[in-house]
Structure formats: C-alpha cells, structure tokens
Amino acid sequence: MATTIGKTFTFAAAHYLSNLPPGHKCARLHGHTYTVTVELTADDLIEPGFVTDFGDLAPFYEYLKVHLDHRLLNDVLDQEPTCELIARHLADWFQRHVEAQIPGRLHALAVAESPTSWARWEVRR
C-alpha cells in the first residue's frame, strides 16, 4: 500500500500559442498565475512518518522562481507553452534534478492556468 502527498507552488508568467489561428484568443500574448501541484508517493514512510519532507522540494520551487516566474514562457521553453507541455517539461525536470535526492517518487504533476483549466501528467510504472 502506498501513501501519496502533494505540494502546490505558483508562478506568474506570460505566453502565446503560435500554432493557433490568428483570431484565436490564446494566439495573443496573455498571462496566467500558474499553479503547479506535485504528487509524491512511497510504499514506506521515513521518520517521523513522511513520504518526503516538503522542505526537500525547495530545488523545484527555486527552478520555478528563477526560470519561469515573471517570464515569457515562449522565450524559456523549447516547446509550445501549453499546460500539457509545461506539465511534461516540469515532470521531466523534477525527475532529473529532484527525485533521486528524495525518498518519495513522482506520481503526478498538474499545471493549472486558471481555477478551471489544467493538465495532469502521470507516471506510468
């Protein structure tokens, strides 16, 4: 049986989706306050009963602040900055830079651009 935890982060950024028709509202430059939720899971808990200490996720928050916060995402990502592709990018970064340093493993990562619109990336193991 596994235990899952979640931690939510936010950052503000602008983007436009260049592959949409010119009249589409998302083809124009606009911004969002993005919400990123990381879900971690573990079969066994570490002392004092954690999947992972939330403080150990600081490198991920630092990445968001330094590389994405108050940026034009089209300039910093090498792909179209849709919620789906941002979620995939962030999950890949998390797995390469954070996951090996913590006891929990990434289960899912969701990116919301508004309270009603989001994308969720999940690990298939």
**The predicted structure's pLDDT at residue 22:** 83
List, for residues 13-62, the tens digit of each pLDDT value. 999 999 999 899 999 999 999 999 999 999 999 999 999 999 999 999 99
Indicate if 70 belongs to the active site: yes
Residue of 24, 30, 62, 70 marked active site: 70
Residue 76 token pair: 């910093």
Work out the mean pLDDT of the chain and round it to a whole number.
Answer: 96
- What structural domains does the chain harbor? 3-122 (3.30.479.10)
Indicate if 97 belongs to the active site: no
**The predicted structure's pLDDT at residue 112:** 98
Residue 73's Cβ-side half-sphere holds a number of Cα atoms within 13 Å equal to: 29
Task: Give the span between the Cα atoms of 51 and 47, in whole angstroms.
Answer: 9
Contacts of 40 (CB under 8 A, 6+ apart): 4, 5, 6, 7, 51, 52, 102, 104, 105, 106, 107
Residue of 26, 67, 80, 99 marked active site: 26
**pTM of the prediction?**
0.95
